[in-house]
Structure 1
Amino acid sequence: MENLLNILADCKPHSMPNLTALLTKTPQQIEQSIIALQKLGLNIKVDTIGVHLQPQLDLLDFQRISTALSTKHIFIKSVVDSTNAFLFRNLNQLKKGDFCIAEYQTAGRGRRGRQWFSPFAGQIMLSVYWNFAPNILINGLSSVVGIAIAEALNHVTNNKVRLKWPNDLLLDGRKLGGILIELAHQHNGLLNVIIGFGINLSIGSKQQIDQPWAELIEVLPQLDRNQLIIEIMNNLYQTLPLFEQNGFSFFRQKWIELDAFLEQPIKVISEKSEIQGISQGVDNNGFLLVSTKNGLLSFNAGEVSLRKQ
């Protein structure tokens, strides 16, 4: 099935005889694979011209992105298991700020191992390699990445995007995107991280998404995916050095301004308990502050999940 998707990823028509020859499969087997891909939300058409995959939006433009971000090494993949996983496999050849972006992920993941679903060419799915001096505290890093992305999106959406602690992007209270940061073990004496994020631009199909979700095309119907990528990455490249120099406290006020749940009744859920209270934003480490009947409590992003009451 994945081999078929790799062939169709150019979004051009392919005849059934050509596909059977390339894949050494019968027409019936290829038809079964097409049905399976369609069930995953991929828009594959079969007509007299042939079999062709229809992208949600314009395809990624390597020349345009690489020209705008010329100092970085950019990997653009049609199909990949996940952009984070791709960078992990290629750590030895990466320099700070290099990134991978894909049209489609077969095994995308979100925070706490949740699966990340995507159409073909309907999102921004991107992972960037970064490193910090070994003595740097990276508390609140994912929230700072959220701020950088939200600022770039708000520049073109008239301030429609808000943040949910620790790192969800919201549009009208619904999930627009998320961030996944993983430590990368590299023998260079530095603190290495892979910063991955996904943003819904045009989803098309609602199947397999188990929470209220949003797509940017709702408020930006003429969106330019390639330009959005350029603007987000430029803002991220400006933001991460500031975080390295100043820590999360430098961004605390920006978070408060973007916090969708500030002063709202919330519940904080862990594996063992559920605590209710009023969100008081974050402290200088990026920890969630909650006013409860037992006083003001703080929570680390790795420990809990946040929900509105």
Structure 2
Amino acid sequence: MAEASPGPGTRDRLLRLLADGAPRSGERLAEDLGISRAAVWKQVHQLQAAGYPVSAEVGQGYRWDRPWPLHEADALRAGLGESWAGIPLTVLPEVDSTNRWLRARGSGGPEMVIAERQTGGRGRLDRGWASPPGGIYLSVAWSFEALESGPAGLGLLVSLHLAETLRALGATRVGVKWPNDVMHEGAKLAGILCELSGDPMGRCTVVVGTGINWRADLVGPLEPGREAAGVADILPAPPPRPGLAGQLAAAVLEACQAYPDGFAPALRERWPALDTLAGRRITLQLANRIVTGEVQGVDETGALILRTAQGLERHLSGDTRVLPS
């Protein structure tokens, strides 16, 4: 009888067999997967190349070191809660970009996709976004009747909702960093990318992509001077990863539902308490210059207010870097 060849879902099935952290022999895995031991070895090497910490132990077999719970649709829906449990939800083991995948579907939403790993994740200004296994990579599609000011403000509102959700779970030192980051004691916890499809003067769709670190040790290489934090490291009693991902996705959906009518009140009443830049001296990288000054806060339009040597300035975009005290 001819041996079965590994199918497209073999690697994901192998990962789930190793998800309890116990060693499994190549022979047992081959039997469970219906493939040869040589094919198991190849699949393990593919997992290692993708960034999964799977090791081989002499006389024991293969082990996933410090495994994390994989996403499951039922657990995600439980985390979403009753209000959002019925939205279309796709769970992928791997994708180039959750935003790109959702935009290609042309869905008006609400709809959600989540992946264990991205091979071509992107951040603001089309920069690469390191998306190794272990993070929480999700995108939500939402339709609006009109967004004359564009989707930029939605990123601020999403970051605020995410930070408030994490604080409610016990991460009391989580804050927001203009324009689109969630922070913990100076280390980045999550980032948001909003992409618009359609005419902002009429009915349009925004896909909100969110990358959230689960554990700091799983984050890829960082730029000099940058630090990462993970939700599993900072929560006093972190919920299981799939359920937490569902709760964070619900926060994104709630922000979309509140935008744009609830945007200005949220910035006026809730943003200041979580603003990690207020009162700090920063550099702001603009398209053609760098501005230095002290952050005075964020106004109701989402603009950063910066006190510089020339006076007060408003900026709607740019990259910030905090200067040493």
TM over 0.5: yes
- Is the Cα–Cα contact under 8 Å of residues 82 and 107 in structure 1 kept in the other structure? yes
The answer to whether 1:78 aligns with 2:101 is: no
The answer to whether 1:130 aligns with 2:142 is: yes
TM-score by length of 2: 0.79
Work out which of the residue numbers 172, 197, 207 in structure 1 matches 2:210. Answer: 197
Following the alignment from structure 1 to structure 2, what is the Cα–Cα distance between the partners of residues 135 and 180?
A: 16
- Is the Cα–Cα contact under 8 Å of residues 8 and 52 in structure 1 kept in the other structure? no
**By how many angstroms is 1:246 displaced?**
3.9
- Is the Cα–Cα contact under 8 Å of residues 158 and 251 in structure 2 kept in the other structure? no
Name the residue aligned to 2:309: 293
Name the residue aligned to 2:76: 65
- Is the Cα–Cα contact under 8 Å of residues 96 and 130 in structure 1 kept in the other structure? yes
Specify the SS of the correspondent of 1:256: helix
Q: Cα 1:113–1:53, aligned 2, differ >3 Å: closer, same or farther?
A: farther
Specify the SS of the correspondent of 2:183: strand
1:94-116 Cα distance to aligned partner (Å, 9 max, x none): 35221001111112222222322
Work out which of the residue numbers 278, 288, 298 in structure 2 matches 1:272. Answer: 288
Name the residue aligned to 1:283: 299
1:227-249 Cα distance to aligned partner (Å, 9 max, x none): 32232233333332322324435
- Is the Cα–Cα contact under 8 Å of residues 140 and 248 in structure 1 kept in the other structure? no
Work out which of the residue numbers 163, 187, 197 in structure 1 matches 2:176. Answer: 163
TM-score by length of 1: 0.83
Work out which of the residue numbers 124, 143, 148 in structure 2 matches 1:111. Answer: 124
**By how many angstroms is 1:175 displaced?**
0.7
Name the residue aligned to 2:5: none
Following the alignment from structure 1 to structure 2, what is the Cα–Cα distance between the partners of residues 114 and 160?
A: 28
Following the alignment from structure 1 to structure 2, what is the Cα–Cα distance between the partners of residues 168 and 294?
A: 27
The letter of the residue matching 1:112 is L
The answer to whether 1:10 aligns with 2:20 is: no
Q: Which runs of 5+ in 2 are unaligned?
A: 1-7, 19-23
- Aligned length, in residue pairs: 299
Q: Percent identity?
A: 27
The answer to whether 1:234 aligns with 2:250 is: yes
**By how many angstroms is 1:253 displaced?**
2.8
The letter of the residue matching 2:233 is E
Following the alignment from structure 2 to structure 1, what is the Cα–Cα distance between the partners of residues 152 and 103?
A: 22
Name the residue aligned to 2:321: 307
The letter of the residue matching 1:132 is F
Following the alignment from structure 1 to structure 2, what is the Cα–Cα distance between the partners of residues 139 and 217?
A: 29
The letter of the residue matching 1:58 is P
The letter of the residue matching 2:71 is L
1:176-223 Cα distance to aligned partner (Å, 9 max, x none): 110011112489x51211100011111434652222111122222641
Q: Cα 1:300–1:8, aligned 2, differ >3 Å: closer, same or farther?
A: farther
Work out which of the residue numbers 241, 254, 265 in structure 1 matches 2:270. Answer: 254
Following the alignment from structure 2 to structure 1, what is the Cα–Cα distance between the partners of residues 281 and 122?
A: 29
Specify the SS of the correspondent of 1:79: coil
- Is the Cα–Cα contact under 8 Å of residues 76 and 102 in structure 1 kept in the other structure? yes
Work out which of the residue numbers 233, 253, 257 in structure 2 matches 1:218. Answer: 233
Following the alignment from structure 1 to structure 2, what is the Cα–Cα distance between the partners of residues 236 and 97?
A: 11
Following the alignment from structure 1 to structure 2, what is the Cα–Cα distance between the partners of residues 39 and 135?
A: 42
Following the alignment from structure 1 to structure 2, what is the Cα–Cα distance between the partners of residues 235 and 247?
A: 14
Name the residue aligned to 2:221: 208
**By how many angstroms is 1:78 displaced?**
1.1
Following the alignment from structure 2 to structure 1, what is the Cα–Cα distance between the partners of residues 11 and 198?
A: 32
Following the alignment from structure 1 to structure 2, what is the Cα–Cα distance between the partners of residues 59 and 214?
A: 20
Q: Cα 1:54–1:148, aligned 2, differ >3 Å: closer, same or farther?
A: same
Name the residue aligned to 1:45: 55
Specify the SS of the correspondent of 2:268: helix
The letter of the residue matching 2:72 is D
Q: Which runs of 5+ in 1 are unaligned?
A: none
- Is the Cα–Cα contact under 8 Å of residues 11 and 55 in structure 1 kept in the other structure? no
Following the alignment from structure 2 to structure 1, what is the Cα–Cα distance between the partners of residues 254 and 69?
A: 27
